[in-house]
Chain A
Amino acid sequence: MSFISYLVNGISLGSVYAIIALGYTMVYGIAKMLNFAHGDVIMVGAYVVMTAIASGGLPPAAAVLLAVVFCTILGVVIESVAYRPLLNAASSLAVLITAIGVSYLLQNVALLVFGANTKSFSSVVPVPALVLAGGSLTISGETIVTIVSCIVIMAGLTLFIKKTKAGQAMLAVSEDKGAAQLMGINVNGTIALTFAIGSALAAVAGVLLCSAYPSLNPYTGAMPGIKAFVAAVFGGIGSIPGALIGGILLGVIEIFGKAYISSQMADAIVFGVLIIVLIVKPAGILGKNIQEKV
């Protein structure tokens, strides 16, 4: 039974990675940039929830909603203030370095506001644990909610992109910004929308992550952020199903590595697998071979 339990935990952790990876992969697909501050938006979302419940006395559901709204606005502001002026810069490194700067900025503002001490985060998930197989397998409420959230988000996002005008505009912009403009699509608006969606999802991921692993400090978002980035690359950056597959695989490998090999080595195993995948398939599992346009 422990195997199944590890598997379920791995899928749950992987679901969080997948939700975060969506933000990386969508922004990369549309703006062709890596938003390394994305992980820290998770941390901001978690702090907003914690503060809203503890100091504001809001019910958990309202606190989560507030965090989603807050992070959505934060994402749009980061894009318009820090990245947009650089998107046409001569070097794409300028945006990358700015993203790293924004990441440190968010961490240090959190340090200033909330202090360096790790705070305990009380779970916002009201779902009771599921006890199966006569008590030998327990699946926590957090695990259930995380996996269900991931499925709902994936389905919703896929529908949004396939069925709505704004979603189709995103696809068009990701393929060819110039041609998209000729169709009447506002490219800057589409990029801002992408940041909004990615950051809203980061807030959700932050709440889920901190409910499952109930501690929070200004660096909480950094490692899951890096791992979700790995998941996005793993699955094929720019691909939404790739983010799902990459995230789940990463979560399962991490938990199995911790359980069966070594808990200290788990991260090394995760990144080792990434290196092997990229040697065999440089574009990631579902990644496309990038063709240079003439």
Chain B
Amino acid sequence: MAMLEIKDIEVYYGMIQAIKGISFEVNEGEVIALIGANGAGKTTILHTITGLLSPKKGSVIFEGKDITKVPAHKIVSLGMAHVPEGRRVFAELSVYENLKMGAYTRKDKEETAKTLEMVYGRFPRLQERKNQLAGTLSGGEQQMLAMGRALMSHPKIIVMDEPSMGLSPILVNEIFDIIQEVSAGGTTVLLVEQNAKKALSIADRAYVLETGKIVLEGDAEELMNDDSVKKAYLGE
């Protein structure tokens, strides 16, 4: 059974239909990429999964449980963390306070302290800057903070929205290395990216989105060699 199943969802913004019936699944341990152009509906899908939006039709099943109607603030404690597009760190809080926010729903203090050590280990720069206000960090550091903050909830699955957005190529590589490490650490990853090349290079499987529909799906490697994908998304 898939860890996360999206069944036939349709999402509207007012009268406009953004998602026109999409189904896909994520199995435990996988890295899944959703790729597509701007406006294809990638962010909308993630928002629907984590409850920030509700679909008009269809359902979201997580570990066998229907979470379609579960409000956004109850999702994280089920084991699903969301790294939102544009990082959205709390600029007025320190790095440390932001990380604590990530563990907001956790009651196990000792385990949380261990997770914090793990996050600092993975992102040494966050530890160096733990007392700095998050708003003063660079874009790359804010992305690391947003990822660290999500990891603080000790998620089973982490959904990431455009983690490479606005970053220099070196930082993009660094961020993708970290995503691979997170995956190797046993966390399932659902990744939304405009940088299709990078996303496909680390993903197990991928889905290609066009204006609210899945037009192509398959193994990441296969998709990378697919002519239409090459032409439309890999710039070859």
A residues in contact (CB < 8 Å) with B: 165, 168-169, 171-172, 175-176, 178-187, 294
Q: Are A175 and B101 in contact (CB under 8 A)?
A: no
Q: Please name 9 pairs of A and B residues whose Cβ atoms are closer than 8 Å in the assembled complex, sorted by A.
A: A168-B100, A175-B90, A179-B89, A180-B101, A181-B71, A183-B153, A184-B105, A185-B73, A186-B73
Q: Which of B52, B72, B86 contacts A294 (CB 8 A)?
A: B86
Q: Are B88 and A179 in contact (CB under 8 A)?
A: yes
Give the complex CA separation of A186 and B76 in angstroms.
12
Q: Are A169 and B104 in contact (CB under 8 A)?
A: yes
19 additional contacts (CB under 8 A) given A175-B90, A179-B84: A168-B93, A168-B97, A168-B100, A168-B101, A175-B93, A176-B90, A179-B88, A181-B52, A181-B73, A182-B76, A182-B82, A183-B73, A183-B102, A183-B149, A184-B104, A184-B153, A185-B73, A185-B104, A186-B73
Cβ contacts under 8 Å, A185 to chain B:
73, 101, 104
Cβ of B143 under 8 Å from chain A: no
Cβ contacts under 8 Å, B76 to chain A:
182-184
Give the complex CA separation of A187 and B104 in angstroms.
13
Give the complex CA separation of A165 and B107 in angstroms.
12
Q: Which of B66-90 contact A (CB under 8 A)?
A: 71-77, 81-82, 84, 86, 88-90
The residue of chain A having its C-beta at the shortest distance from the C-beta of B150 within the complex is: A182
Q: Are A172 and B52 in contact (CB under 8 A)?
A: no
Cβ contacts under 8 Å, A171 to chain B:
90, 92-93
Cβ of B188 under 8 Å from chain A: no
Cβ of B195 to closest chain A Cβ, rounded Å: 19
The residue of chain B having its C-beta at the shortest distance from the C-beta of A178 within the complex is: B52
Main secondary structure of the interface of B (DSSP, over half): loop
Q: Are B73 and A184 in contact (CB under 8 A)?
A: yes
Give the complex CA separation of A186 and B74 in angstroms.
8
Cβ of B91 under 8 Å from chain A: yes
Cβ contacts under 8 Å, A168 to chain B:
93, 97, 100-101
Give the complex CA separation of A119 and B13 in angstroms.
54
The residue of chain A having its C-beta at the shortest distance from the C-beta of B97 within the complex is: A168
Cβ contacts under 8 Å, A294 to chain B:
86
Q: A168-B100, A169-B104, A187-B73 are in contact. Are A182 and B92 (CB under 8 A)?
A: no
Cβ contacts under 8 Å, A169 to chain B:
104
Cβ of B50 under 8 Å from chain A: yes
Q: Which of B52, B74, B84, B91 contacts A184 (CB 8 A)?
A: B74
Q: Are A178 and B88 in contact (CB under 8 A)?
A: yes
Cβ contacts under 8 Å, B52 to chain A:
178, 181-182
Cβ of A26 to closest chain B Cβ, rounded Å: 15
Cβ contacts under 8 Å, A183 to chain B:
73, 76, 101-102, 104-105, 149, 153
Q: Are B72 and A181 in contact (CB under 8 A)?
A: yes
Q: Which of A172, A182, A186 contacts B84 (CB 8 A)?
A: A182
Cβ contacts under 8 Å, B97 to chain A:
168
Mark each residue of chain B from 146 to 158: 1 if its CB lies under 8 Å from any CB of chain A, else 0.
0001000100000
Cβ contacts under 8 Å, B73 to chain A:
180-181, 183-187
Cβ contacts under 8 Å, B50 to chain A:
182
Give the complex CA separation of A124 and B139 in angstroms.
56
Mark each residue of chain B from 35 to 54: 1 if its CB lies under 8 Å from any CB of chain A, else 0.
00000000000000011100
Give the complex CA separation of A178 and B85 in angstroms.
11
Cβ of A241 to closest chain B Cβ, rounded Å: 13
The residue of chain B having its C-beta at the shortest distance from the C-beta of A173 within the complex is: B90
Cβ contacts under 8 Å, B100 to chain A:
168
Cβ of A237 to closest chain B Cβ, rounded Å: 15
Give the complex CA separation of A187 and B100 in angstroms.
17
Cβ of B130 to closest chain A Cβ, rounded Å: 15
Q: A178-B52, A183-B76, A183-B104 are in contact. Are A172 and B88 (CB under 8 A)?
A: no
The residue of chain A having its C-beta at the shortest distance from the C-beta of B80 within the complex is: A182
Cβ of A17 to closest chain B Cβ, rounded Å: 25
Q: Are B82 and A175 in contact (CB under 8 A)?
A: no
Cβ of B101 to closest chain A Cβ, rounded Å: 5
Cβ contacts under 8 Å, A187 to chain B:
73
The residue of chain A having its C-beta at the shortest distance from the C-beta of B82 within the complex is: A182
Cβ contacts under 8 Å, A179 to chain B:
84, 88-90
Give the complex CA separation of A235 and B197 in angstroms.
50
Give the complex CA separation of A184 and B152 in angstroms.
12
Cβ contacts under 8 Å, B77 to chain A:
184
Cβ contacts under 8 Å, A165 to chain B:
104
The residue of chain B having its C-beta at the shortest distance from the C-beta of A189 within the complex is: B73
Cβ contacts under 8 Å, A178 to chain B:
52, 72, 84, 88
Q: A183-B101, A184-B153 are in contact. Are A172 and B90 (CB under 8 A)?
A: yes
Give the complex CA separation of A187 and B51 in angstroms.
13
Cβ contacts under 8 Å, A172 to chain B:
90, 93, 101
Q: Are B88 and A176 in contact (CB under 8 A)?
A: yes
